[in-house]
Chain A
Amino acid sequence: MIEFTFWDILRNLLLAARWTVLLSLAAFVGGALVGLVVLFFRIAKNKWSRRIASGYIALFQGTPLLMQLFLMFFGLPMLGLRIEPWTAAVLGLTFFASAYLAEIWRSGVAALPQGQWDAGASLGLHYLQELRLIILPQAFSITRAPTVGFLVQLIKSTALTSIIGFEELVRTSNAINNATFEPFKVYGLVALIFFVMCFPLTQYARTLEQRAAAH
């Protein structure tokens, strides 16, 4: 039997944490791109486009992420796609993030006064230019705090991908725990690593919030 010292455990967990970070980043970038598309639909002038986007958001916010991951993992192979845990994890978290980010940014767009649109139109800008030059920059800037807050939620959500077999921090910790039978130490360390990743972001979101409130 192999003996695990404290440093072995910590080193293996930190190596696995790289995948947690990478997955969080991939899902955040992917979620932002897809979320932008959903946002366009959500604030479009066409009533049906808005309804479809609302339905999309309600679907992802009204079902457990674990189920979304399972459907991704078992559903995509039916379309003839070869799928592995990491593709299911990235895709599942991307769609999950897109729904939340679109809703956060929509609230930013809704918070802008109508005058911003009117001013853009009176300058002769067409719809896309108005969005790109006037509306979206302001909407992103006033929703920076909830966006960072969601990133924290996303990092924590990557833990669920261990259940569909993605080798990140939690899955590695399960394996280490099965070998060492020291759950208190192992899961305590995992919690600590997550805390170290999330807490600075939480504090940053709080600072942004206070700065916004001061204005």
Chain B
Amino acid sequence: MGYSLDFGWLAGAVGAIARGAATTILLIVVTTFVGTLLSILGAAGRRNGPLLLKRAIGVYVEVMRNTPFLVQLFFIFFGLPSLGIRLDPILAAMLAMTLNMAAYTIEIVGAGLDAVPRGQTEAALALGLRPRQVFVKIVLPQALKVIYPALTSQVVIMMLESAVVSQIAVRELTYEADMLQARTFRAFETYFVVTMVYLALSMGLRRLLVSGGRRVLGAGVS
């Protein structure tokens, strides 16, 4: 039984693949920004907040880290409407990705905050900075610099994980691949091409984050 590969369909599919890739990129950009912001708040709250908040953040982190992303996504997309919260697929995907990512990055950011020597805070307070200024201008930049590589990896992992949101019909890269293979009956070739697109995206994203981080974080902090 012979099977010959056929990539003839590819010419007509470039548009769909590009659209899907654009949606994947949109998802990861939103997730990265909102997720990082949330995790800074979460990590700070876990260290300096009231006891109840500390506990709540701890439980949140453990629950998200010990359950599959797919189940979280289904819970948000199918489960929340029974509480009266109905979300668009793309909004549900963004929410699930952000909440999932934040759980991992809260731990990462927290490790960074712990890595900044105590003397930095004391020196800044002695210079008359307010506690909030100390956090935003002194501690956080140094912490971000330490954890930047780990944060980068987490963003790439999240981008790869986003393939799953095709299951709630978000029209991203994997969804477009599903549609294409249903039309062309060339399942292996379709998924092979799309896998290579993902590989290029993850390599490009990593390179972009490394060079961008060097530019932004390298300057402000010595």
Given A63-B195, A64-B161: A183 and B78 within 8 A (CB)? Answer: yes
Asked if A22 is an interface residue, CB under 8 A from chain B, the answer is no
Which residues on the A side are within 8 Å of B166 (C-beta)?
A: 66
Fill in one digit per residue for A126-170: 1 if any B CB lies within 8 Å of its CB, else 0. Answer: 000000000000000000000000001000111110110000001
Fill in one digit per residue for B108-120: 1 if any A CB lies within 8 Å of its CB, else 0. Answer: 0000000000000
Q: Which of B11-19, B47-55, B87-95, B196-204 contacts A (4 or more CB under 8 A)?
A: B196-204
Asked if A98 is an interface residue, CB under 8 A from chain B, the answer is no
Select one of A67, A71, A170 contacting B70, CB under 8 A: A170
For B153, the closest partner residue in chain A by CB is A61
List B47-94 residues whose CB lies under 8 Å from chain A.
Answer: 62-63, 65-72, 74-75, 78-83
Task: Contact check, A156 vs B74: say whether CB atoms are below 8 A apart.
Answer: no
Task: Contact check, B198 vs A64: say whether CB atoms are below 8 A apart.
Answer: yes
Task: Contact check, A202 vs B62: say whether CB atoms are below 8 A apart.
Answer: yes
Fill in one digit per residue for A186-200: 1 if any B CB lies within 8 Å of its CB, else 0. Answer: 011011001100110
Task: Contact check, A64 vs B163: say whether CB atoms are below 8 A apart.
Answer: yes
Asked if B33 is an interface residue, CB under 8 A from chain A, the answer is no
Select one of B79, B156, B162, B188 contacting A78, CB under 8 A: B188
Which residues on the A side are within 8 Å of B163 (C-beta)?
A: 64-67
Task: Contact check, A187 vs B79: say whether CB atoms are below 8 A apart.
Answer: yes
> Which among A68, A157, A187, A190 has the greatest number of chain B C-beta atoms within 10 A?
A187
Task: Contact check, B79 vs A71: say whether CB atoms are below 8 A apart.
Answer: no
Task: Contact check, A202 vs B198: say whether CB atoms are below 8 A apart.
Answer: no
Task: Contact check, B202 vs A80: say whether CB atoms are below 8 A apart.
Answer: no
Task: Contact check, A66 vs B164: say whether CB atoms are below 8 A apart.
Answer: yes
Cβ of B79 to closest chain A Cβ, rounded Å? 4
For A69, the closest partner residue in chain B by CB is B191
Asked if A62 is an interface residue, CB under 8 A from chain B, the answer is yes
Cβ of B114 to closest chain A Cβ, rounded Å? 13
List A87-109 residues whose CB lies under 8 Å from chain B.
Answer: none
Which residues on the B side are within 8 Å of A160 (C-beta)?
A: 68, 70, 164
Asked if B167 is an interface residue, CB under 8 A from chain A, the answer is yes
Task: Contact check, A67 vs B174: say whether CB atoms are below 8 A apart.
Answer: yes
Which residues on the A side are within 8 Å of B194 (C-beta)?
A: 67
Task: Contact check, A159 vs B202: say whether CB atoms are below 8 A apart.
Answer: no
Select one of A70, A74, A80, A183 contacting B74, CB under 8 A: A183
Q: In which size bucket is the chain B interface?
A: 35 or more
Which residues on the A side are within 8 Å of B66 (C-beta)?
A: 152, 156, 194-195, 198-199, 202
Asked if A54 is an interface residue, CB under 8 A from chain B, the answer is no
Task: Contact check, B68 vs A170: say whether CB atoms are below 8 A apart.
Answer: yes
Cβ of B115 to closest chain A Cβ, rounded Å? 14
Task: Contact check, A67 vs B78: say whether CB atoms are below 8 A apart.
Answer: no
Asked if B44 is an interface residue, CB under 8 A from chain A, the answer is no
Given A70-B187, A74-B191, A194-B68: A62 and B202 within 8 A (CB)? Answer: yes
Complex alpha-carbon distance, A80 and B2, angstroms: 8
Which residues on the B side are within 8 Å of A191 (C-beta)?
A: 63, 67, 71-72, 75
Task: Contact check, B198 vs A156: say whether CB atoms are below 8 A apart.
Answer: no
Asked if B126 is an interface residue, CB under 8 A from chain A, the answer is no
Task: Contact check, B187 vs A74: say whether CB atoms are below 8 A apart.
Answer: yes
Task: Contact check, B71 vs A194: say whether CB atoms are below 8 A apart.
Answer: yes
Complex alpha-carbon distance, A184 and B79, angstroms: 4
Complex alpha-carbon distance, A130 and B208, angstroms: 41
7 A-B pairs with the lowest CB-CB distances in the bound complex, closest first: A183-B78, A64-B163, A159-B68, A198-B66, A74-B187, A156-B68, A184-B79
- What are some 25 contacts across the A-B interface (CB < 8 A)? A63-B195, A63-B198, A64-B160, A64-B162, A64-B164, A64-B174, A65-B163, A66-B163, A66-B166, A67-B174, A68-B195, A70-B191, A74-B181, A75-B188, A157-B68, A183-B74, A187-B75, A187-B78, A188-B75, A191-B71, A194-B66, A194-B67, A194-B68, A199-B66, A202-B65
Known: A66-B164, A66-B166, A67-B191. 4 other contacts (CB 8 A): A64-B164, A160-B68, A184-B75, A195-B63
